[in-house]
Amino acid sequence: MDLKILDESHQAEYDHLVTHVIQSWRWGQFRKSLGIPLLRYGLFDNNKMVKAFQISFHRIPLLKKSVGYLPKGPFPDSELAKALKKISCDNNCAFIKTEPDIEAGTTGKIDSHFKKSLKPLFTKYNFILDLAASEEELLKNMHQKTRYNIRVAQKRGVKIDIRNDAEGLQAYLKLYFQTTRRQNYFGHNEIYHTKVWETFAETGQVQFVLASFEGKPLVAWMLLIFKDTLYYPYGGSSRLHRDTMASNLVAWEAIKLGKKLGLKKFDMWGALGPDADPKDSWFGFHKFKQGYGGRLAEYLSSFDLVENPVLYYAFNSVDKFTKLKVLLLKALGR
């Protein structure tokens, strides 16, 4: 197969082949708007594009080497390994991290050049909800407590507003940053979220679902749309009126929005495994998502194609809480 760098003329063909919003052409535009080097590639067989993916490149601080990042890409077979080895050489990469959008159990041989990642970025599991089911079926498949909480929010008079304008963005940003401060976790800055909105609003591929009670904003989710799938990557909430169960209603309204738009799947962006530990800091998010009755999907492991073993192991020995690791995680967009 022939490896080629793609240009704007390939956009439609490219989007037809990729399977996840963060491999979409528009997501690449968003990443470029942040000043991140990014290239799109196609693998061609007899002049027909058969695989497509984009890689962002992130300079390792104080060094001339970079890390390549290919999230939610194709199966890590020999053709991809050959392509990534050339890309790594051309772009002076210490290694390229790839996290396939491929579920575990998929047939195919993983090429021996791929090493299982020491530190994955995306979660190995995810809840995916089938939007083809009727609203009645979806409610029936939910956990009893989840259905109850939705009714509580409705009875208490929680108001829902769905919009994709600048006012919706500002309402979302306030609640998002309230949440990151309250829970003391890593979050992207205002420029990042604004650029996501600006990029996807051009084509109507972003929506905000906002919940309020007695005029006070309580919950806000940013949703992205790509092909037949609705994605829930980011959200925020207030400390106020937690007893109204507004988050449960926001999730239900997001599901109904996906159905209204004719989408087939609701991707909830990540989860813990089937034997989730209640002591895990993400267990609350996992349990919340689990309540909606989606399928727990398991993906292939994350893999690294390593060109510079010394730098690779030095990079992975850095503790996740050091300044260097935080900078790299921010650069990679996680």
Angle among Cα 331, 188, 247 to the nearest 5 degrees reads 140
Q: 309: buried, middle or exposed (CB in 10 Å: 19+, 13-18, 0-12)?
A: exposed
> Is the pLDDT confidence value at 319 over 80?
no
Helices (H) and strands (E) in the chain, counts: 11, 14
pLDDT for residue 327: 52
Question: What is the C-alpha to C-alpha distance for residues 81 and 186, in angstroms, rounded to an integer?
Answer: 32
pLDDT for residue 325: 52
Picking from 284, 250, 245, the residue whose alpha carbon sits closest to that of residue 266 is 250
Q: How confident is the model at residue 162 (pLDDT cuts 50, 70, 90)?
A: very high
Of the CATH numbers 3.20.20.120, 3.40.630.30, 3.30.70.100, 3.90.950.10, which one belongs to the domain with range 126-297? 3.40.630.30
How does pLDDT run across 46-98, given as a tens digit for each residue?
999 999 999 999 998 888 899 999 999 999 999 999 999 999 999 999 999 99
Picking from 96, 141, 83, the residue whose alpha carbon sits closest to that of residue 295 is 141
User: Order of strands, edge to edge, in the sheet holding 295-298?
Assistant: 159-163, 206-213, 216-226, 229-237, 265-267, 125-130, 295-298
Domain boundaries, the chain: 2-122+299-332, 126-297
Quickly name the fold that domain 2-122+299-332 has. Aminopeptidase (3.40.630)
> Is the pLDDT confidence value at 169 over 50?
yes
Asked whether this chain's domains 2-122+299-332 and 126-297 adopt the same fold, the reply is yes
How does pLDDT run across 232-289, given as a tens digit for each residue?
999 999 999 999 999 999 999 999 999 999 999 999 999 999 999 999 999 999 999 9
> Is the pLDDT confidence value at 161 over 90?
yes
